[in-house]
Amino acid sequence: MSKEVILTGIRANNDLTLGNYFGAILPIVDMAKKRANEYQINLFVPDLHSFTTPIDHSQLQEQIMHNLRLFVAAGLPLNHPDVHIYRQSYIPAHSELAWILDCFTGFGEMSRMIEFKDKSAKLGEERVGVGLFNYPVLMAADILLYNATYIPVGDDQTQHLEFTRDIAERLNTRFGDLFSVPYQVKKQHEFFGNDQGLRIKDLQDPTKKMSKSDETGKGVIFLGDTPEVAAKKIMSATTDSLGVIKFDWAEQPGITNLLQLLALATERPQTEVNKQWEGKTAYGELKKAVAEAITGFLQGLQGQLVLVDDSALLAKLGASEKAMNEVANKTLYKVQKAVGLR
Ligand code: TYM
C-alpha cells in the first residue's frame, strides 16, 4: 500500500511571517523530520497563487527561491526519498485540474469564502482579480492531485480545506472514485496536535490575523526581521487595560497572542506557559520574555538560512518536480477520462 500523503503550500507573495512559520511550516517540517518513514511529505510553493493579491513581479523569482530555502533552514530533510519539494507552476496538471474543478464549483460556494470577503474588502473592487475569487479551487487541485489526506494549515484556510473535501466527494459521487478525500478538520487537529489550526494575531490589532499581505507590516513579524526590529514590534504590541495576565482570546486577545507566541517559540506546552504567567500584572515583563524568545528563534532560523546549499536544493527540486509530474499526470488522466476528455 502506498503511504498517506501530508501536503502543504506557502505562497511567495512577500517575506513569510511567524504566522506562516508556526501555522504551516513547523507542523509539516516536524512530520518530515519524525515520520517520513511512515508518510510521504509534499511541501511546495504555490507560485501561481502568489499573485492572487497584487505583488511586485520583479521580486517573485527571488521570493520563490527564498521560500524554498526557508523550508530547508526550518529543517526539511532533503535527502529523504519520500520528502518532496516543488514549485506548483512546474507541474501543469495543477492548472488543468483546477479548470475542470471550476466547472463543478458553485459561484455561491466561492462567494461565501471568508478569506475572499476579507481580502477583497481590503483591496477594493477595482483591484480584485477573478483569481482571488476562485483560488480555493486551485488549492483543492493542489491537494487532490496527490491524494493528500493530511493538510497542515492555519485556521484561515479551514474553509478551503472543507471545500476541498466537498468538491472531492462531489466528483467521486458523480464519476466514481477519483480522489482520496482529505480528513475532517477535527481529525487533522488531533493528528498534528498543538500546532494545527493556529491563528497568530497581528501585534497591533490582535483581533485580526498576522498576515504577510498586510500593507503596513507594523504588527507583523517577518522571518527576515532583524532581532532589533522584531523586539521593537513586540514591545509595542497592543494589549489591554485590564492589568492582569490571562489566556483569554475574547477578553484579552493581545495578551493571549503573546502567551501563544511564547509557548510556540520556546517549544513549551501552552498550559505550562499560562500557569507561569497568569495572574501576574507586569505586561512589560511578559513582552520582554516574548521578545527574547522570538529574537532567539529568528536568530537561529536566519543562521540556518545562510547555510542552505543552493545546489543541493536545486537538485532536489528537479528530482521532485519530475516525480510529482508523473503522480499528478496520472490523477489528471483519470479525471480527464471520467469527464469524457479522453
Ligand atoms: P498563505 O500563503 O496565505 O499562508 C501559508 C500558510 O500559513 C498559514 N498562516 C497562518 N497560520 C497561523 N497564523 C497566521 N497568522 C497565519 N497566516 C498564515 C496559512 O493558514 C497557510 O497554511 N491558499 C494557501 C496556500 C496553498 C495551500 C495549497 C495550502 C495553496 N495551495 C494546498 C495547503 C494546501 C494560502 O494562501 O496560504
Ligand 1 centroid – CA 188 distance (Å): 15
What residue owns the CA closest to ligand 1's atom 34? 8
Question: Exposed/middle/buried for 230, CB within 10 Å: 0-12, 13-18, 19+?
Answer: buried
What residue owns the CA closest to ligand 1's atom 19? 154
> What does pTM read for this prediction?
0.95
Considering the candidates 3, 33, 119, 218, report the single residue annotated as catalytic: 119
DSSP, residue by residue, 12-41? -SSS-BHHHIIIIIHHHHHHHHHHTTTEEE
Residue 196 confidence (pLDDT) above 60 = no
Task: Give the rounded percent of residues in the chain with a pLDDT score beyond 90.
Answer: 86
Residue 123 confidence (pLDDT) above 90 = no
Ligand 1 centroid – CA 306 distance (Å): 24
* C-alpha–C-alpha distance, residues 280 and 81, integer Å: 49
Considering the candidates 212, 233, 287, 316, report the single residue annotated as catalytic: 212
Nearest to 102 by CA among 76, 70, 64, 141: 141
Which cell numbers in the block locate residue 26? Answer: 513547523
Name the DSSP letter for residue 201.
B
Q: Give the pLDDT band (50/70/90) at residue 225.
A: very high
Query: Would the CB of 87 count as within 6 Å of ligand 1?
Result: no
Query: Ligand 1, from 157, 161, 165, 195: best to mutate by most atoms within 8 Å of Cβ?
Result: 157
Q: Give the pLDDT band (50/70/90) at residue 214.
A: confident
Nearest to 260 by CA among 284, 293, 229: 293
Query: Would the CB of 157 count as within 6 Å of ligand 1?
Result: yes
Residue 112 confidence (pLDDT) above 60 = yes
What domains can be seen in the chain, in order of their start residue?
Answer: 5-183+310-338 (3.40.50.620), 227-305 (1.10.240.10)
Residue 13 confidence (pLDDT) above 70 = yes
Query: Ligand 1, from 18, 49, 153: best to mutate by most atoms within 8 Å of Cβ?
Result: 153
CB 233 within 8 A of CB 267: no
Query: Would the CB of 139 count as within 6 Å of ligand 1?
Result: yes
- Please confirm, yes or no, whether 322 is among the known catalytic residues: no
Q: H/E element holding 287?
A: helix 283-305
- CA 183 to chain centroid, in Å, comes to 17
The neighbour count for residue 234, using CB atoms within 10 Å, is 22
The neighbour count for residue 271, using CB atoms within 10 Å, is 10
Give residue 2's pLDDT.
86
Q: What are phi and psi of 62, to 5 degrees?
A: -65, -40
What residue owns the CA closest to ligand 1's atom 31? 139
